[in-house]
Structures are given as C-alpha cells and as structure tokens.
Amino acid sequence: MKKRFLAGALCAMMAFAMAGCGSSSSSNEGGEEGGSTSGEAVELKMSYTTSETSVWRVAGETFGELLSEATDGKYTVALYANDQLAGGAMDQGTQMILDGTVDLDLRSITNYTNYEPKLYVVTMPWIFSTNEDVDTILFNGEGGQMVKDLIEPLGVKVLGLAENGFRSVTNSKHEIKTPADLAGLKVRVPAISSWVDTFTLMGADPTVMTFSEVFTALQQGTIDGQENPTDPIVSSKLYEVQSYLTRWNYAYDCLIFTCSQKLWDSLSEEEQAIFQECADAACAAEIEASRAADDANFAMMEENGMTITDLTDEEVQAFKDMVAPIYDDYREQITDEVFAAFGYTFE
C-alpha cells in the first residue's frame, strides 16, 4: 500500500496545492485505455470541466503525482481541461464517464441531477450556510454517503467529494442587498431547474446559457449578472464586466471525483486501495486550495474595482423567506429521507 510514501507525499502535495496550479508531467495528452495487465504502464485520461488555471486542477495533479509514485509509474494521469474530450459539452462529458469512455472525472454534482433528481438536494438554497455545515454534513456526515449511494448506481465509482464552493451573485447595475434589488435583473444561471426556480422566486429574470457565452453576454449587456463561486468568476475574468458582487452563500457547489466502473473493476484489490488513498489526498488538497483561493479571489476582485457586499443575517433571512416554497416544490422528487440526510425535515 505504500503508506509511508503516501503520508509524506500528501504533505508535499498539500504544499503544492496552496502554491497554485502549475503544469505537471502527468498532463501530457494522449494515452491508452484504462486498465492493464501486470507491469504494463497505463496512462489514464481524466476530464474536468473548468480551465487549466482553475483550482479544480489541484485535485487532478495531486492524484496523478501520488498515483504514479505509489504504483512505481505503472499508472499516470493525463488531464483534459474544459471537457475537451467531450468537445466542451458538459452533458456529453458526464455521459463519457458513465459509459467508461473516460477513466477519471471531476465535475459538479449538478451534472448528475438529470440522471438522479434526488441530487437536487445539494442545490437547494441555503441547505448549507457555512463551510462548517458542509464539512459536518457533506464531507464527514450522512449527506456525503447519501451522495455516493445515489451516484454509484449510475455506473461509476465515487472516489471522493471536493468543492467548487459557495456561489455569489454579480451584476453590473447596483448592489444586491434585498429581494427588491433582484427584481427584473437578467441573471444567467446554469440549466439547473432548482436554481432557475430559486431566482424566479426571488423576482429575478433567470436566463439559461452556457458558461462559455457569459463574458460576452455581460459585456454586451444581454444579461445583467450571473452567479458562480469565485474560482470561475476570477479564472474567466468576469470581474472585468461586473461591478457588484453579493457574498450570500445561497448555494453550495459540490464536486464529484469519479473513476469509471470499467477501470475500477479492472484493478486489483491492492490497486483499488491505492487509488482510493490517493483520491482522498487529492480531494483534501483541492478543498484546502479552494478555500484559500476564495479569500484571495474576493480581495483581488475588490482591488479591481468591484463592490463586495456581505449580507447580515436579517438580510439573508429575507431571501430565505422568499425561496422557502421551493422545498415543498421539490419534496416529492428529492424525498424526505434524502432531505433528512442533509439535516432538513418538514414540519
């Protein structure tokens, strides 16, 4: 299992993660199919949906470095950003890991909601409010196990959970402090029904479009704003075409690190244990890097002229009251059992 190596390597990789997302020798493109006979070198293909400068890449590079050393070079990992293997299409990228066309994958839990609607629970407004909530319920609690139990029947092995973080709302018009400030604003949201419904309940005009179109749409005034965690806001330079950001933790975006079932089943028990231990370290490194980057990203956006608004508990409550009906709307498809795993019960 090479426990001694992994313990030391984890410390080194955590330091690497905090330093940033550099390129590595494991990111060469090309390679063979997953799985191998004993002693045969295998390059595994790993897809993720954000750019090469995204903090998400920390998970892939950490996993690749640890896995290569733990298996004496038998397995290496080639990283493909921006869902490159799927031509940039997130839905196709999700299908590729489920089909086993890709060996490893990191993507938002929202990409799996079309396959398992119960996963909408993680997208519910203010199901989490703080990182402490996330750590207790999702990463170390019943909620995280529920997520794995819902995703694995789709045909993948869930190696771990990481994070895209809490989502903030930005716009070019004015500060958003009350629901009235959202009224009529054209806000881009992903094609996730729960988030479309949330912004509709808050009085905004939610507009669905692919993320690759968002910068131009904001620049041209086709939309007024958008919502995202800080990593994609900064890596896509949306702060250049947005003046206001409200930090309200209205929704949390969880990442799912998966291995194709085809690859997983081809591994020996010892290799499976190594893959799992390397994945645990990779997810821990990504989460730590993501949270450190959040603080730096907010500071950088403010330095570049954005007005950063933090809401009081009373101001947040006004938004919570407006969106409260969404829990009843999604109760049947999510189920009380799944809600309860996330600490939410209906009176």
Write out pLDDT tens, residues 170-201. 999 999 999 999 999 999 999 999 999 999 99
Residue reference for tokens 């996993």: 63
52/271: higher pLDDT: 271
Res 212: pLDDT: 81
**Length of the chain counted residue by residue:** 347
Query: What residues are paired with 307 via a beta bridge?
Result: 244
Q: Which pLDDT band holds residue 333 (cuts at 50, 70, 90)?
A: very high
Q: What SS3 class is residue 47?
A: strand
Q: Would you say residue 347 lies in a domain? A: no
- Please count the structural domains in the chain: 2
Q: Chain centroid to CA 312: how far?
A: 26
Let me know whether 131 and 181 are in one domain: no
Closest Cα partner for 125 from 324, 298, 265?
324
Q: Which pLDDT band holds residue 10 (cuts at 50, 70, 90)?
A: very low
Find the largest Cα–Cα distance for the chain.
64
φ/ψ of residue 72, rounded to 5:
55, 40
Q: What six digits make up the tokens of 202?
A: 């808050």
Closest Cα partner for 28 from 54, 64, 56?
64
Angle between helices 313-323 and 193-201 (to 10 degrees): 110
For residue 22, pLDDT beyond 80: no
For residue 32, pLDDT beyond 50: no
CATH number at residue 13: 3.40.190.170
Q: What six digits make up the tokens of 42?
A: 């295998």
Let me know whether 86 and 97 are in one domain: yes
Let me know whether 87 and 210 are in one domain: no
Cβ atoms of 93 and 211 closer than 8 Å:
no
For residue 55, pLDDT beyond 80: yes
Cβ atoms of 161 and 59 closer than 8 Å:
no
Let me know whether 40 and 19 are in one domain: yes
Q: What six digits make up the tokens of 154?
A: 């789709």
Let me know whether 175 and 152 are in one domain: no
Q: What SS3 class is residue 175?
A: coil
Q: Would you say residue 50 lies in a domain? A: yes
Let me know whether 135 and 15 are in one domain: yes
Exposed (0-12), middle (13-18) or buried (19+): which is 288, by Cβ within 10 Å? Answer: middle
Let me know whether 112 and 200 are in one domain: no
Cβ atoms of 94 and 309 closer than 8 Å:
no
State the Cα torsion 273-107-164-313 to the nearest 10°.
Answer: -110
Cβ atoms of 47 and 104 closer than 8 Å:
yes
Closest Cα partner for 288 from 106, 13, 18?
18
Let me know whether 215 and 151 are in one domain: no
Question: Alpha helices of the chain — where are they, by DSSP H?
Answer: 3-19, 57-70, 90-99, 131-133, 142-151, 179-182, 193-201, 214-220, 230-235, 261-266, 269-303, 313-323, 325-329, 331-334, 336-341
Read off the amino acid at residue 289. A
pLDDT > 90 in the chain, percent: 81
Q: Hey, how many other C-beta atoms are within 10 angstroms of the C-beta on 3?
A: 9
- The residue segments making up the domain with residue 82 are 3-164+254-294
pLDDT tens digit sequence for 296-316: 999 999 999 999 999 999 999
Instruction: Provide Rg for the chain, Cα atoms.
Output: 20
